[in-house]
Amino acid sequence: NHIDSGAKAIYTDGSKTDEGTGSGYCILENYEIMASWQGKLDRSNSVFQAEILAIRMVIEAASSLHRPIKIWTENLSSLMAILNPKSHHSMVPFVLP
């Protein structure tokens, strides 16, 4: 179960439609929303960039929680880029502190 583990459950998402590109996160504790964030990106940004931004923003927000966290994201390519020290994606170096 995502929520009953004692850690705060954090969900991220990035998406793109004809209207634009956006990203966001939601922090849950005991089935309640503790914090959330939404950002609108430029229409030229990709879903990958939106996902990376959501992960970056939630890491920044979670650093003040002083509790174990679990981040749930659906974008494997974003995670692979973040974990790759040789990644050439311009946003990746700004994700981890």
The order of strands in the sheet holding 69-72 is 32-41, 20-29, 8-17, 69-72
Range 64-83 average pLDDT: 81
Q: What percent of the chain has pLDDT over 90?
A: 31
Q: How far apart are CA 31 and CA 18, in angstroms?
A: 32
Give the pLDDT band (50/70/90) at residue 37.
Answer: very high
| Residue 83: pLDDT over 60 | yes
State the pLDDT at residue 4: 54
State the pLDDT at residue 6: 63
